[in-house]
Structure 1
Amino acid sequence: MPFSLVYASDSPFEPPSILGVLLRTPLRFAVYATYHFFNSLRVTPAPLSTPPVRVVCVSDTHNLKQRIPDGDILIHAGDLTNGGSLSELQAQIDWLNSLPHQHKVAIAGNHDTYLDPRSRRTLAEEDRNGKLDWKDVQYLQHSSVTLRVPSTKAGSNGNGHSHGRRLKLYGAPQIPECGGPEHAFQYQRGRDAFTDTVPRDVDILITHTPAKWHLDLPLRSGLGCEYLAREVRRVRPALHVFGHVHVEAGKEVAFWDAGQKAYETAMSRPVRGLIRGLLDVGMWIQLALVAFWGVRNVIWDRVWCGETRGTIMVNAGLMRGNTGRLGNKVRVVDI
């Protein structure tokens, strides 16, 4: 997680300072650090096919372009634009369409105003009434698509035979409210907009918002959605791609075990300040559970060579913080 030396602003989208976190939520910081330390020692889930399917994950390009590595599937997890006008969206679609990836999939973000009929009303008339040409880009809005990714292997006689793998992708753009009426697909924070909406057989889930407490500035307040977190736990896709929180761009694995449950329970406890926080018995219990399960799971992975399936979670935002410039690493995942 990124930190600054001091709080840069009161914006929930800015990273916190180490000192501020320690003075306000010392045990929450300990839980966070312990969970991520042990998670970093665990084995990333192996691809389910040989050769694997290469998924290139991007998000939050905000009208800009960046060099994109090759792969089988290109996913854009929303905020293609800044103002969400028809012309801005078409320019980004044309750029995605020009890339060589066999499959290209995109969802909307809160800045993609035109794509939500409610926020579209805030645009100029020429933008409200026009139409987009998605070309070869598959747009998902509370919908799914099944993609076939072919591959070729050489047989013992030197002849190639073709086979493929099918992957089901589901995309949902809705996010907890974070702006005015020009922002798309917003719902009131605390409202359940996800339960039982994602098909159980989804391999790749694409949302614009993160799940709560995962790559969403959890030591601030957690900008993700708690109901999405429950839905991802229920479905357990191989890959979850999202964006929205630029400063948390990165990758982690959710293993859906007791240690992760203890982490999420601890992070959900109210912030009590330095003294009351240190006296929070419940938080101490959750910290002990995170440490216990962390040690146990690392031993299982590294010593006993056990394999635990999990969900690879990717915050694919390319915008470097709130600078207005791209530059974050493009995340490539083999599944």
Structure 2
Amino acid sequence: MVLELFNPFHRPKDDFEPTPFAALLFQAPVKLLLYHAYHLITYLRSTPTPSKLPIRVVCISDTHTNIPEDVPPGDILIHAGDLTNDGSVAEIQRQIDWLVSLPHKEIIVISGNHDTYLDPRTRSSLSDEERRGNLDWKRVHYLQHRRLSLTISTEPTPDNTHAASASASSRTPLLAAEGRNQRRIRIYGAPQIPACGPMNVHAFQYPRGQDAWSETVPEDTDILITHTPPKYHLDLSLPQGMGCEHLQEEVSRVKPTLHVFGHVHWGAGKTVVWWDKAHDAYVQGLATPSKYTHGLLNPRLWWNVVRVLYRGIRELLWDRVWGGQSANTIMVNAAQMHGNTGKLGNPVQVVDI
């Protein structure tokens, strides 16, 4: 037992715990190289330029009945699910009451798998006392496979006041501006996740591998809110990933400006996904089966490593030298829970779009 605890090659029994680096180096060395090459190139690229009329989006998720001490101000506050542990009416209502006490102009919430009451299929697993009462969402926008359009009053940035007028009169493929000091933002929220626990207890689950996403997100979505990550993005990507591959394909199709999620606590953070050939090679490489030789003799896997390096460096030079930017999505894993410790510890993520 003692040897097992200190064995660097031992994989955790919990799929939501990270696999030690030494174990990954042994089990998936080529994928580990692919993963770090892609993320190094992504890190070196510039960040997307916010609109001339920026909107500040504050992102949280996975509070599990806890209340973060310091939530920064902003225009929109998003909670991407798992407000509670047990999912009772009383637990959900306490989180709603806390959220509406915050000063943000708009507050948007989706469910997580722990918010049991919100899924009619799992509600019966709660006791009569846990189901007692009615939820009062107050000024919170609750999205459950639902679209929301908001008009947000904004102020031009100090050095872009004159440019703001031109920006407001034109519609980009991702954002629509209405008037000089207003922007319309289209938001879509959906809670479903690949199964990770009992289907009659954990809310909004579907069998892992099933496609629950294709053609479900409106094409003009600016902000997408889900509980699960898209596979391989702010996810426990190695050795296999806990996110959903079908959601990844749907996000690639829609290309929202911002995608907010949680669920995988260890994936918390923020990144930019550039929808280019390097990204295609990254996803295809990590999805390539590599069992017996751990990928060392798999030509398809090595070819994707080469593609990530070649395409990624080309895109990096185009970005940094010529100032070009391909289509992109800012992705935020907003989980507040630090790993599986039961305690909050991850920073609140703030994005200007």
* Residue 243 of structure 2 corresponds to residue 241 of structure 1: no
Is the 1:24–1:271 Cα contact (8 Å) retained in structure 2? no
Question: Match of 1:50?
Answer: 52
* Residue 195 of structure 2 corresponds to residue 177 of structure 1: yes
1-structure distance, mates of 2:252, 2:294 = 31
Question: Match of 1:118?
Answer: 121
* Residue 34 of structure 2 corresponds to residue 15 of structure 1: no
2-structure distance, mates of 1:333, 1:6 = 37
Question: Match of 1:187?
Answer: 206
Q: Percent identity?
A: 53
Kindly tell me the number of residue pairs found equivalent between the two proteins: 326
Question: Match of 1:294?
Answer: 312
2:67 aligned to which of 49, 65, 68: 65
* Residue 134 of structure 2 corresponds to residue 131 of structure 1: yes
2-structure distance, mates of 1:289, 1:183 = 39
- What 5-or-longer segments of structure 2 have no aligned partner? 1-6, 163-178
- What 5-or-longer segments of structure 1 have no aligned partner? none
Please, what is the CA RMSD of the aligned residues?
Answer: 1.7
Counting only pairs closer than 5 Å after superposition, residues 1-335 of structure 1 correspond to structure 2 as 7=10, 9-47=12-50, 49-66=51-68, 67-152=70-155, 163-180=181-198, 181-273=200-292, 275-335=293-353
Give the drift of 1:276: 4.9
- Give the SS at the match of 2:188: strand
Give the drift of 1:152: 3.8
1-structure distance, mates of 2:39, 2:106 = 33
Give the drift of 1:252: 1.2
CA offsets 1:64-97 (integer angstroms, 9 cap, x no match): 0112000000000000000000000000000000
Give the drift of 1:16: 1.2
Give the alignment's TM-score, normalised by structure 1. Answer: 0.94
Is the 2:54–2:155 Cα contact (8 Å) retained in structure 1? no
Counterpart amino acid of 1:301? D
1-structure distance, mates of 2:49, 2:66 = 33
Is the 1:259–1:294 Cα contact (8 Å) retained in structure 2? yes
Counterpart amino acid of 1:104? I
Is the 2:276–2:326 Cα contact (8 Å) retained in structure 1? no
1-structure distance, mates of 2:221, 2:21 = 38
Counterpart amino acid of 2:247? L
1-structure distance, mates of 2:144, 2:38 = 33
Is the 2:290–2:298 Cα contact (8 Å) retained in structure 1? no
1-structure distance, mates of 2:136, 2:20 = 44
Give the drift of 1:178: 0.5
Is the 2:191–2:226 Cα contact (8 Å) retained in structure 1? yes
Is the 1:205–1:240 Cα contact (8 Å) retained in structure 2? yes
Is the 1:61–1:318 Cα contact (8 Å) retained in structure 2? yes
Give the drift of 1:185: 0.2
Alpha carbons of structure 1 residues 304 and 152: separation in structure 2 relative to 1, 3 Å: closer
- Farther-moved stretch of structure 1 (117-126 vs 233-242): 117-126
Give the alignment's TM-score, normalised by structure 2. Answer: 0.89
1-structure distance, mates of 2:90, 2:9 = 39
Counterpart amino acid of 1:63? T
- Farther-moved stretch of structure 1 (301-310 vs 96-105): 301-310
2-structure distance, mates of 1:238, 1:132 = 31
CA offsets 1:264-303 (integer angstroms, 9 cap, x no match): 0000011325x45211111110000000011101100101
Give the drift of 1:135: 0.6
Counterpart amino acid of 1:314? V
2-structure distance, mates of 1:119, 1:308 = 42
1-structure distance, mates of 2:154, 2:244 = 37
Is the 1:187–1:193 Cα contact (8 Å) retained in structure 2? yes
Give the drift of 1:109: 0.1
- Farther-moved stretch of structure 1 (284-293 vs 161-170): 161-170
Give the drift of 1:316: 0.3
Give the drift of 1:6: 5.8
2-structure distance, mates of 1:271, 1:121 = 42
- Give the SS at the match of 1:118: coil
Counterpart amino acid of 2:319? D
